[in-house]
């Protein structure tokens, strides 16, 4: 478990710059030239900055050369930012992705989590200090992911065992909601290799997690279940390898931005929950959990914003989270 914590508990305030010729590489995508000029001026001293006004070119650009970070605007005429970041994830999964937009666009926020799997969501007009911190954290994460991928490629054995085979038993999924609807909505037995548990409250969830090794948490986060947002926040700080999915009945842009930037959720689902979507997301969550266990370096993408670290650990969840069980023994 120590390797998992070391891989995730890193404070990144400034970019790691090896030399002037080997600076972190960032690609900015925005249809407005003035925005690109402003971003280039702001970051050119610390980074190797490239820009494009056409999101359709991003796939080819990422195939030709590696970028540690890509930052895309959402509202563009030819290709929306969510589509750009989805392409980036497919072509260059180790490039860290950020979405930049001036609109509280619920569809974009949803898409950024469920399609682009972004690292941070940044609102226009941006705060220079906050954006600099986001970029620095993303760049350091991108450097680490690129180095790990290179080392793996150089030293990989001829045959890689399946990570699922390493554990030999189903992964545990914990559903957290007061009325118990989630297990039925997600058709809990629809995905092989998962064993289900249910807790009415976050306190009950911690009791279960002290007895069972939980790899995936599915939690309702609005109405009477709103307290689960804080629970998931603290859970990510202490145990980022536990994959979280959240379910909401209404669209709350502020909540969703918090879930992306602070709670670092894996997927967001709106009710009514469609069977095809629930099965797809549970399957993806299982795969993500196995990847975290097999390659702890990936946990760097789960870092919450630094402002959330100290505050969240002071509440009543902190000490109880220290004793929950994991695949690597007690934390």
Q: How many helices (H) and strands (E) does the chain have?
A: 13, 12
Quick one: tokens of 42? 């702001």
Q: What is d(CA 282, CA 182) in angstroms, rounded to the nearest whole number?
A: 12
Predicted local distance difference test score (pLDDT) of residue 189: 77
Query: Are 53 and 24 spatial neighbours (Cβ–Cβ below 8 Å)?
Result: no
Q: What is d(CA 80, CA 293) in angstroms, rounded to the nearest whole number?
A: 33
In the numeric block, the tokens 């909540």 are attached to: 255
H-helix or E-strand containing 222?
none
Predicted local distance difference test score (pLDDT) of residue 258: 85
Per-residue model confidence as pLDDT tens digits over 200-211:
999 999 999 989
H-helix or E-strand containing 121?
strand 120-123
Query: Are 22 and 147 spatial neighbours (Cβ–Cβ below 8 Å)?
Result: no
Quick one: tokens of 172? 């545990």
Q: Report mean pLDDT in 10-residue bins for the chain, 331 residues.
A: 37 45 90 96 96 97 97 93 95 94 80 86 90 93 86 61 51 95 87 93 93 94 91 85 90 84 89 91 91 76 58 51 53 43
Predicted local distance difference test score (pLDDT) of residue 319: 54
pTM above threshold 0.85: no
Predicted local distance difference test score (pLDDT) of residue 157: 55
Quick one: tokens of 164? 């699922």
Quick one: tokens of 257? 């931005």
Predicted local distance difference test score (pLDDT) of residue 207: 92
Which domains, ranges and CATH numbers included, belong to the chain?
Answer: 15-150 (3.40.50.2300), 163-326 (3.40.50.2300)
Question: Between 106-114 and 81-91, two packed helices, what is the crossing angle to 10 degrees?
Answer: 10
Q: What is d(CA 67, CA 14) in angstroms, rounded to the nearest whole number?
A: 17
Per-residue model confidence as pLDDT tens digits over 103-137:
677 888 888 888 888 999 998 889 999 999 999 99
**Half-sphere exposure (CA, 13 Å, Cβ side) for 34?**
0
């Amino acid at each position: 478990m120590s390797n998992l914590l070391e891989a995730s508990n890193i404070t990144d305030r400034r970019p790691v710059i090896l030399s002037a010729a080997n600076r972190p590489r960032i690609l900015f995508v925005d249809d407005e030239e003035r925005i690109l000029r402003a971003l280039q001026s702001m970051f050119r001293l610390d980074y190797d900055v490239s820009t494009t006004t056409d999101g359709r070119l991003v796939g080819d650009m990422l195939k030709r050369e590696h970028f540690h970070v890509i930052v895309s605007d959402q509202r563009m005429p030819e290709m929306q930012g969510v589509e750009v970041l989805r392409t980036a994830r497919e072509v260059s999964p180790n490039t860290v992705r950020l979405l930049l937009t001036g609109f509280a666009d619920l569809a974009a926020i949803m898409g950024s989590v469920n399609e682009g799997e972004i690292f941070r969501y940044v609102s226009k007009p941006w705060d220079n200090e906050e954006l600099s911190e986001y970029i620095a954290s993303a760049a350091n994460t991108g450097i680490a992911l690129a180095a790990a991928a290179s080392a793996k490629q150089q030293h990989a054995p001829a045959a890689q065992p399946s990570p699922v085979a390493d554990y030999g038993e189903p992964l545990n999924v914990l559903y957290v909601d007061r009325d118990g609807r989630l297990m039925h909505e997600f058709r809990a037995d629809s995905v092989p290799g998962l064993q289900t548990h249910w807790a009415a409250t976050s306190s009950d969830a911690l009791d279960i997690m002290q007895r069972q090794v939980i790899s995936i948490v599915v939690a309702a986060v609005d109405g009477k279940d709103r307290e689960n947002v804080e629970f998931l926040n603290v859970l990510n700080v202490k145990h980022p390898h536990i994959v979280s999915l959240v379910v909401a009945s209404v669209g709350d842009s502020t909540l969703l931005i918090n879930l992306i930037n602070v709670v670092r959720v894996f997927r967001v689902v709106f009710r009514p929950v469609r069977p095809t979507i629930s099965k797809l997301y549970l399957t993806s969550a299982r795969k993500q959990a196995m990847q975290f266990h097999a390659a702890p370096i990936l946990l760097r993408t789960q870092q919450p914003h630094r402002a959330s670290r100290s505050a969240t650990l002071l509440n009543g969840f902190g000490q109880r989270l220290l004793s929950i069980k994991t695949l690597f023994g007690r934390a």
